[in-house]
Structure 1
Amino acid sequence: MSQFFNQGGRGRGRGRGRGRGQSNHSLFAAGSVDGAFDASANGSAPFSEASAFGTTDKSVQVSIKGWRGGTEAALIKFLDNKVGRPVNIENINYIGDIMYISVPSRDIAQDLLKLTGIRFAGDKLSFQLRTHPVKFRAGANTRDSLGGANTGGIEGGSTSSNDSSIVKDRLMTLLQTRVDIQGSSLDLSFLAQDNIIASLGADPLRDGKIFKAILVIAAQMYPNIVTVSLANNGFQSLKSVADLGAYFPMLRNLSLMNNMLSNISELDCLSSIGSTVPLSHLSELILLGNPVCDAELNQPNGSAIYVDKVQQRFPTVSMLDMNPVTPRAQPGQPTATAPGSGSESKILPFPTEQIFAENQGISDLANAFLAGFFGLYDGNRAGLADIYDQTAQFSLMVDTTQPTSSFIQNNPDSQKHIDFTTYLNVSRNLARTKSHQKRISSLASGKTAVMQAILQLPATQHPVQDAQRFSYDAWEMHVPNSESSPQTVATVVVHGEFTEQPTRNVFSFDRVFVLAPALPGSPAASIGSPCIIINDMLTIRKYNGFHSWLPEQTEASTTSTGGLTAEQQEMARALQEQTRLTAEWTIKYLENYGWNYQVAVSEFPQIRGSLPPDAFQ
């Protein structure tokens, strides 16, 4: 399956730092861009300074730290959502890792200060009023409210001495918005439309130096890059990125989608034919949307010849244009291997990954949708009526089998006598329901029936602030609609957990959504939802943990948890939630009882009073 986070063929969700329109208060504004649908954190702080002065008579300047894990566009939507009204940022400037914004009133600035400590994209934001605002003169390196590009220096400093450091800081900021949380995937698509690039006065379509600078800095910041997208950059030649193999020698996935490459020989500068540092580990290549594809495929026996020409240059490629092909060589072995040798077989098992999204557009949509959906499902379930289609279908299946985790089976908190009666009344378990009439009647069809079904289910709370407790897969597909013409939909399969209110029982769940775009002016669009639900299938079961989808622990992560096994970590988490002990004391306490969870729980009331105050959160 394709490894790319973006193929550049559709809208780009939160925009990756490009131009923005007027932000609206949106229930579906995503609070994170790193793969987690992060709920808002509660946090406030007193004003950092007593008074503020803006960049105009009325505007106020505020500095922001801790935003670099996300994009500029995502931050603006996030602030609009948390403040409860459009922040109406007038201009944005950067110095290093600090963002300077001007807002039209002190009231808005004070609302922003109250958000200090709130989590965004995995980090805590810090806001500060500028009593002595940093002044950016008209020729400064800034990105103003119209997205215009200026060049120059910061007032009070030496322009000539600061130019190179300003460019480097801007490019570092750019890369932080375009590299995934693991530091392995780099999205360099649509560079000409990026505000940060525009602020430098650069034209990536004509100036190859900007690509070289980006690659140099990216290789220093993220040496483990294995996936690069160069889609939608208007490339007619690849000379400006010919050193890609030198900077990322382990590159496995490359997208050149939707460029202007007209001859297969343009690939030579990346291969052993024309490069001393070829992409010798490349396993996936995407050339769709380039003139060369049509030119090659329209020839007699074009498909086979096209694959052959690509593999002459990259013999290790096993995915071409998102279709599997048989590689000629293993990575690092540029010569072809003998057919039937078996060396082309992939090594199993594949590493565990928590999230798969077909491309960045689908990832952005899934993050925004899931954050909004679970927020409404937990806090205002009736509000979901706006995002279910009139013809939507909903079904619930209850899995009453026992969990497989040995810890969960012995955990008294998760093995209470859970009453599934409320859920069984509407359950549609096709393995048990043999009656055709029952199968039909238990399927909620139409918005009214769907809302009746979900409103009778118990109240819930999903821990969306903890990204590791959820996993999802998201992809795009085309299905016939009522007129039998293709309709584009997104499928999102999410796995996670929720706490039932008021019993406090914890359940695991799987939920499959089929989503269609929200039309302008629709109820869904009016509340900021990017899509509507046309199908919703929910499965619930007794709690079974979340470690099955977490990536394999690295040496660093094992050290940070003291070398605990997955079962011990789960045990510590459960005990900490029940006792409110700190993480350190939780581990000490369990070690004292030989990691016997049941004994530790039963003994805790007797020893609670003997523990010091700093043992508790």
Structure 2
Amino acid sequence: MVSQKKPSGAARSARGGIAKRKTRTDRDGDLVMDPTARTRGGGVAKGGKSGAPAGRDKTRGAKVNPRGAGFEKKLANHIGGSAVRTRNQPSRGLEELRVTGYKNSKAASNSDGGLNSLIVWLEKRASLKSKRAIKIKKSRAEGDDVLVSVPAEDAVYVLRVDGFVFAGTNIKIERASAQDLDTGVSKESTIAMLKGVLARRYNVETKLLDLSALGVDPDLKAAQIFDSTSTTGKFFPALMKVLDQQFKTAAEKHEAITSVSLANNQLTSVAPVTTLAQTLPQLINLDLSNNAFKDLTGIEAWRRKFPKLDHLIVSGNPLEQAEPDYAAKLMAWYPKLRLLNTLQVRSDQEAEKGRRVTDMPFPIKGPNFQDEGQIAENFLRTFFAGYDTDRAALAQHYYDEQSDFSFSVNTAAPRDPTKSHDTVPQEWDFYIKRSRNLKKITQLPARQSRLCRGAQAIHESWSALPATRHPDLATQPQKWLIECQSQPGVPDPTGASPVGVDGFLITIHGEFDELDVSTGQVKKTRSFDRTFILGPGGPAGVRVVNDMLTIRAYGGFAAFEPEQTEPQVQAEAGVPVLPPGLTPEIAEQMIIELQKQTSMTVQYAKDCLEQVQWDFDRALQAFAAVRANLPADAFVQAA
């Protein structure tokens, strides 16, 4: 074997696998694969569930698993011919996405067919998802579709806009298909090559798809797939497309493949391979070992994905040293995770009870919390920390000249009956002069004068209020009650949608301490209610459209605690019998989540869950099995 010099800065390249080319720097975070590298592999270690990946040949590179007879039989008639070659193309680092449906929008009547408005809308929406500016580098019309090119690491955020409403119509966004992978030969030869890769790397006995060390795969080396970032960015979506086409149903696919290894691929982010979560969402074992994840942000795109994940391996990545608490975070992301890096982190019973729908942003929340991309969660964590420490910066960050703020005092609110309260004269002096209690302020001029519009006016109003300290959301969640739901018709700052865009309506109930600025001591504890309407815009991609604060006497938080009730033996009229341990609040969340994932109506979602005894995973499987036979009225009809 010819010895090879390690590429600079790639400490793990010595272990083999996919390493950066010595003559090229990856600017976009894509897979950068060295066709000359060798690997010792890795894999899901023994001790996991059936279907864990096997070991590797330490002397001959990545182990090629025995061909799965059933899988190979499906592919045998399609594989053959000489090695596939590809044209050399300049490195672009862009990924192409197909956008469908915009021709049916109201913007299609524009002089350019609505293309410019679509691009602006996509950039705004994607930026809101990523919390940083996303730019579309290229676009071109292709029939009634448009193909847009974005940096590979940003593609995942644009894809999250799939299904959103643009100018009155739903937009579909998907990655380039296998037919779009330009290898310089016929489409049939390219697909046959990809089928050959899948056949050699699938083990029917262990149900493992071994995608480790792809840089040394003979077919991919021959095709020079990883010699160009253009083909690199399209390779994995194309591979997943071909994989998906080999199965008649999703249930058959999930039964055939329970484990995937992506070890030794020098991945810095899951962005290049993110389509795995869409193609194989029911994975049980996942191996991400010996890659280059610096911290958990590289894996965050898969947060709350893989609801059945039982065993995850991330050993051999820099994140182990960068984030000492990574294990706790991964356990929060994956409620059913039992094994992490071959170590048991949950008991079998705890893992069995884990439900994806209960993994909500806050431990204490109302029955209705419909967040998307953690937009509401991140806003709330940032907002209350900023309100307590730097109100001027907070106002500039989230408020603009069209934002409204008002507060009111409710002096008649009930107080906490478990504690004695010292009431003193003038205890509301800080608030009462500017209070906009519409039950008491009936004159229009007085009402208008108490409504603050614009970031500067809002900051001035905040400055007149006492300094505060709110309970920490992470360590004192029992002191909060938070609800969030989608809010249509929020004004569009770009003007592209005359009927408005979707935002969020957030309602918070909690408490805060009033502080003495000179001493930092607590002067008074009060309760509050706050309602936000959020929309797109601003430097953070999120702007506060309306902010209403109600301040009241301290009422405690006992009302936030869920009641512990025994399940009914017999159902009342129209009320389902719930399994032991399942509260009506959780059942409602399950219905909402099933609706979100299937687009079924409330009644059909409830019926589906009842038929499988409220097992959420079985409900998804049942839906997939009967979807083709459901009537049209089983689904929510677009307006």
Classify the TM-score, shorter chain.
0.3 to 0.5
- TM, length-normalised to structure 2: 0.35
